[in-house]
Structure 1
């Protein structure tokens, strides 16, 4: 893990219909780290993810990804990001391989490794099976394969272990750190399953009502909260917003 920033956010705000959804958000995601982004439903996690990936524009503030500023180098940033935000949508009548091929074509990328991406997520043996026959967990895996097939520098995953069975969750726990080693990647993910975040994350950020109220190394959390991440998380929420 490096001390360089893969993502750097300064004074980020997002307003919808005059209401501040994200307020004065500052975030620092270290290169080659796994950053666990925690918060209750509606706290603002997905909104922040959408601004990082260019799906939403900030009202004010600055976002840098891999040293590039979002407002000025959006095209280059998008080529360096892979993401799965909300429920992934596919061409139902096509195979996993065909879906990834279309995705690469849409992005204008020639050197994506479809076979490796499907193998990484455990879908290498689906052959010509249409996605319409996939389970929910298989769809999640395919969503991650689509996010990594172009070997991005930053992987943004919103609830990636949703719908996975215990074996799938274990496989994901092994996959995400392996991606950092294999592709020199940084991972920013959210999950409500705190136990899994505790297994794999290097850094924890906690957002509450649009404010990023804590950002701390997991090692420090384990030192001060021997009962684990869940105890830390609810203690932080109990303290409330610091402005």
Structure 2
């Protein structure tokens, strides 16, 4: 089960206004792992995440999530995905608890423990203040709660640690590891390499719209024993973009 691919793209292409922003992109995410996708700004991370969550339609190539082609199995796939893509949007006049109730109703999920989920991300179900009063960190915690509340098989998180203070980042790292140990698969991006290095099993480097390399953290730390993930990342980017 551990070695089964829960996300697999082959020759993925996305064209906007005649420009290929995703080019022959191939990703392989094993079930029950944490996969970190890393790249410079504009490399294509968010576009790939939008395709995987069916917010965008690929121009060509194949995309399988949980073994299903997302072109034909969209509804079934989305039931088992939780996600944060770009800036999360909430019902600003509702509380955190009320926002999660609306989300669960939309997902047609019942008997989920809202109080426990909020506690897991460091929020209180007793807080009846509207989300409009929340700090950036609190909003990010709520976004993570919404992504996991329906107990999805796959969680896709675009910069999930944005806005969190150092304590919050540490708490979310522990949470992600706990979710993995409970059988969830996590695909996430972050500009902070140490965030990924602390929790990921495998890494994909994206540049110019394609995955240029995939490796396990064990392989990276063995090959780049002194500089670790940072050394690996910058070497691959320099080779691809031909930096000096």
Q: Could you state the TM-score of these two structures normalised by the residue count of structure 1? A: 0.96
Pairwise CA distance, 1:115? 1.7
Matched, 1:156 2:156: yes
- 1:155–1:185 CA contact under 8 A, matched in 2: yes
Partner residue in 2 for 1:189: 188
Pairwise CA distance, 1:151? 0.5
Partner residue in 1 for 2:220: 221
1:120-147 per-residue CA deviation (whole Å, 9 max, x = no partner) reads 1111355212111211011001001001
Written as runs of structure 1 = structure 2, the 5 A alignment for 1:35-184 is 35-182=35-182, 184=183
SS in 1 for 2:221: helix
Pairwise CA distance, 1:112? 2.7
- 1:86–1:158 CA contact under 8 A, matched in 2: yes
Pairwise CA distance, 1:181? 2.0
CA distance in structure 1 between the aligned counterparts of 2:223 and 2:73, rounded to whole angstroms: 40
Partner residue in 2 for 1:207: 206
Gaps (5+ residues) in structure 1? none
- 1:96–1:126 CA contact under 8 A, matched in 2: no
Pairwise CA distance, 1:223? 0.2
Gaps (5+ residues) in structure 2? none
CA distance in structure 2 between the aligned counterparts of 1:149 and 1:4, rounded to whole angstroms: 24
CA distance in structure 1 between the aligned counterparts of 2:147 and 2:125, rounded to whole angstroms: 19
CA distance in structure 1 between the aligned counterparts of 2:114 and 2:68, rounded to whole angstroms: 27
CA distance in structure 2 between the aligned counterparts of 1:122 and 1:163, rounded to whole angstroms: 14
SS in 1 for 2:147: helix
- 2:97–2:125 CA contact under 8 A, matched in 1: no
- 1:213–1:241 CA contact under 8 A, matched in 2: no
CA distance in structure 2 between the aligned counterparts of 1:82 and 1:126, rounded to whole angstroms: 24
